Amino acid sequence: MWTASQVLRRFSTSPHHYQNKLKLAIIGQSLFGQEVYSNLRKQGHRVVGVFTVPDKDGKADPLAVAAEKDGTPVFKFPRWRVKGKPIPEVVEAYKAVGAELNVMPFCSQFIPMNIINNPKHGSIIYHPSILPLHRGASAINWTLIHGDKKAGFTVFWADDGLDTGPILLQRECAVQPNDTVDTLYNRFLFPEGINAMVESVQLIADGKAPQIPQAEEGASYEGIQKKSNAKVDLAQPAEAIHNWIRGHDKVPGAWTADTPGKFLNDLKILSTLEIEGASRPGLVTKKGLVLHGTDGKLLVKSLQFEDGKMIPASKYFSSGEGASVELTDNEKRVAEEIRNIWKGILSNVPTINDNTDFFKSGAASMDVVRLVEEVKQKCAGMQLQNEDVYMYTTFQDFIQMFVRKLRGDDQKEELVIDYVKVNSMTVKMPYQCFINGKFEDAESGKTYDTINPTDGSVICKVSYASVGDVDRAVAAAKEAYEIGPWGKMNPRDRGSLLYKLADLMEEHQEELATIESIDSGAVYTLALKTHVGMSIQTFRYFAGWCDKVQGKTIPINQARPNRNLTFTKKEPLGVCAIVIPWNYPLMMLAWKSAACLAAGNTLVLKPAQVTPLTALKFAELSVNAGIPKGVINILPGSGGMVGQRLSDHPDIRKLGFTGSTPIGKQIMKSCALSNLKKVSLELGGKSPLIIFSDCDMDKAVRMGMSSVYFNKGENCIAAGRLFVEESIHDEFISRVVEEIKKMKIGDPLDRSTDHGPQNHRAHLDKLLEYCDVGVKEGATLVYGGRQVDRPGFFMEPTVFTDVEDHMFIAKEESFGPVMVVSKFKDGDVDGVLQRANDTEYGLASGVFTRDINKAMYVSEQLEAGTVFVNTYNKTDVASPFGGFKQSGFGKDLGEDALMEYLKTKAVTVEY
């Protein structure tokens, strides 16, 4: 009935769906091209061919990836013409698809006119400018450089000039004072451009598309800016300097109109910077670099060096940020005294010069202690650690570090957090992206509402991360792993930081549990004990593993007359991505990230879009625990954007995901196509629970209910189907219904509540539809199946009986408080096992019986990663957790989880 109704619904609407639709050729590339392609297909247009660029480094363009997945013909021509003439075989291949219109959403290749004009309706192309202004590839840059008050885009009919043909459609938006190319693109040009391309195609299909000739008046033909002529002229007004910078730079500074007196009073000047062409030196402040124009000042927030590295302008004179500290006369005197200390320790080295390396010169661990103590004795009150010597091994680097400490430049920055306050206990929640140790708005400035499922109210607006935010977070994690202290840290010290983090989580457990309750709907007592409590246990467990990761020696055949020693080392993978679900927001974070960090990796984590708040609070606590910047990065946002970019990113070496099986398959494919990154997947389930007549009935009823209704049924290992032996079936159901009636449904923050709201509206609607299907298929609805008559997303605990093996609810996971019960004949052990295993899922399972032989036999035969005997939901941080078949692979928790985040290196030494 389910399938038939769906087919009937599609059939009845199909005639209207295909009215006025075209056969299209998509010529272009990039995510923009992919989105235009996908949306045109959704509108019913037929894409007969996709023409895009060849694979780069073995990776297909996003447009090609989407088209290949759909089975659309894809052509990857490196060029369309040679020496100005079209390539015949390319033209022939194009004409063979029979397109009625060419759609060019983002096209970087020159397309010959016999291709442009070939279709019945010609070709349309997207251009990021309100034509005729600012033509060419740098159009949007010139919009900013010229200080235009309006930006926008044009969809026009392509001609031999490619941007001089008639206009079909235009859209415009206001340019904000601090807009950049990226903010304009993310806010308007990308999303509205996609909509406009789809609208334009439909206008053509309906015969309503205009062709408005472009005027020559006001046309700008300025070419692409090159590095050689992009130098800023500081002898002009501050606004002009600002426009020039933001038009050339992806992450520019921001122009300010503050009055000179107030402006400087608000900033602590850290140093001055001589700049060629400037009438006055720049002022390096805690807010950035202040430059002087001819009529005022502007504030530059970011600087980029010749090697491409970009830093906050306020950090120009800080450690490793592009410039060495210039020593005062007194500091030079102290540096010479330290040089003498080095001489005393490194007595075998004739001269201590700037490049002398402490360890390469023969120093050992006791020499490190001696150096630190002698320097501290020389400079009373100096806070110097042994780790500082290991981090700064040459004399020059050591002196630079020492002077910065002496000046106080290395003081830990105060974490700036914008808080949202809710509830009577004044819960404080960060709500911005957490990148490189700081909370900051998304690059696009976008936010979204996170909803309290208890009443449907908005808790707060949360930053909506973009692809650019992912790239910045990954870059920060990579730097933290390769250059920062995390990668050089002793494992025991790393463990100490994780222990401290667990202590802070425990200190803030009531706050975390409250956030978890209002964001996910979890009953407070369960959130406190399980969501938060097990998270704390997980971090403590893996903190203890940090200094216990070991390899082994392996006897191999000797290469006589020489001998060999072969041993293995366990090493971290590098930057890892973690994508977690919404049912246990904090606990799923802990299960994956604790093992990841204990192994020595850095991470970028995407919480579920509907439950981001405990992850962001966790980020705050990680800073307070002393976790170095860049080690942990948290990006709230959509799976389609953030999750996909994490899957595709070439610098990520492992992705851990918990979620649905279809999304897991897509992630696995993307990870393979990108860089063959390691993957672990914990996916869907339909876990069977078999209850035999010789069970402890009281326990079977209690644990059977827990197996379904624990955490409102939003539980990956929930018993998706109960098989109850025929002789006890009716008694079991009667007692379950009796207990359900005693359950208190209500506000999850009420300590006496048993059953809280479902996580979000869409999930509640899905559960109600799931129950409707069960009734239509003929299952008996014994109890529930409805939304509770109160505000919020509450669903009644539900019981179905007489469920047959072919039914939808017997095969598919509800992920909610729906008990699905089937009978089996008394004594038919093998028969019920066959039915229990007749699923593509294999996450968990359970059996209730007093017969130990039967229990052992059933546990051996059940095809699941976890088998519970006379209990359910009993997970522990030391026990591995993960599924078989389409429930995924890889393990969370236990030593097995640690191995998911390590790689094995074999070393053979001949001696």
| Annotated binding-site residue? 881 | no
| Annotated binding-site residue? 567 | no
Q: Where are the beta strands (DSSP E) in 676-736?
A: 678-682, 687-691, 719-725
| Annotated binding-site residue? 401 | no
Which amino acid does the sequence have at 206?
Answer: D
| Annotated binding-site residue? 639 | yes
Task: Measure CA of the first residue to CA of the last residue in the chain; give whole Å.
Answer: 74
| Annotated binding-site residue? 641 | yes
Long-range contacts of 890-894 (CB under 8 A, 24+ apart): 890/656, 890/679, 890/680, 890/681, 890/682, 891/680, 892/591, 892/592, 892/595, 892/658, 892/680, 892/682, 893/538, 893/591, 893/595
- Three-state DSSP class for 121? coil
Please state, as a whole number, how many other Cβ atoms lie within 10 Å of the Cβ of residue 331.
15
Residue with tokens 């019981």: 799
Cα(106)–Cα(29) distance, integer angstroms: 6
| Annotated binding-site residue? 458 | no
The continuous run of DSSP H or E covering 452 comes out as strand 447-452
| Annotated binding-site residue? 642 | yes
Cα(282)–Cα(287) distance, integer angstroms: 13
Q: Is the peptide bond before 132 cis (omega within 30 degrees of 0)?
A: yes
| Annotated binding-site residue? 163 | yes
- Three-state DSSP class for 163? coil
Write out the two tokens for 783.
Answer: 């109890």
| Annotated binding-site residue? 580 | yes
| Annotated binding-site residue? 57 | no
- Residue 530 CB-density burial (10 A; 0-12 exposed, 13-18 middle, 19+ buried): buried
Rg of the chain's alpha carbons, rounded to an integer? 32
| Annotated binding-site residue? 896 | no
Cα(696)–Cα(606) distance, integer angstroms: 43
| Annotated binding-site residue? 157 | no
Cα(91)–Cα(108) distance, integer angstroms: 18
Residues 458 and 449: beta-carbon distance below 8 Å: yes
| Annotated binding-site residue? 582 | yes
Cα(139)–Cα(460) distance, integer angstroms: 37
| Annotated binding-site residue? 814 | yes
Q: What angle do CA 570, 572, 574 make, to 5 degrees?
A: 155
Q: Give the residues across from 605 on adjacent strands.
A: 578, 634
| Annotated binding-site residue? 147 | no
| Annotated binding-site residue? 2 | no
Q: Give the residues across from 154 on adjacent strands.
A: 127, 170
Cα(425)–Cα(749) distance, integer angstroms: 12
| Annotated binding-site residue? 190 | no
Cα(863)–Cα(855) distance, integer angstroms: 14
| Annotated binding-site residue? 886 | no
Residues 481 and 574: beta-carbon distance below 8 Å: yes
Active site residues: 127, 682, 716
Write out the two tokens for 897.
Answer: 């989880």
| Annotated binding-site residue? 507 | no
Annotated binding site for (6R)-10-formyltetrahydrofolate: 109-111, 163
Annotated binding site for NADP(+): 580-582, 606-609, 639-644, 659-660, 766, 813-815
Annotated binding site: 109-111, 163, 580-582, 606-609, 639-644, 659-660, 766, 813-815
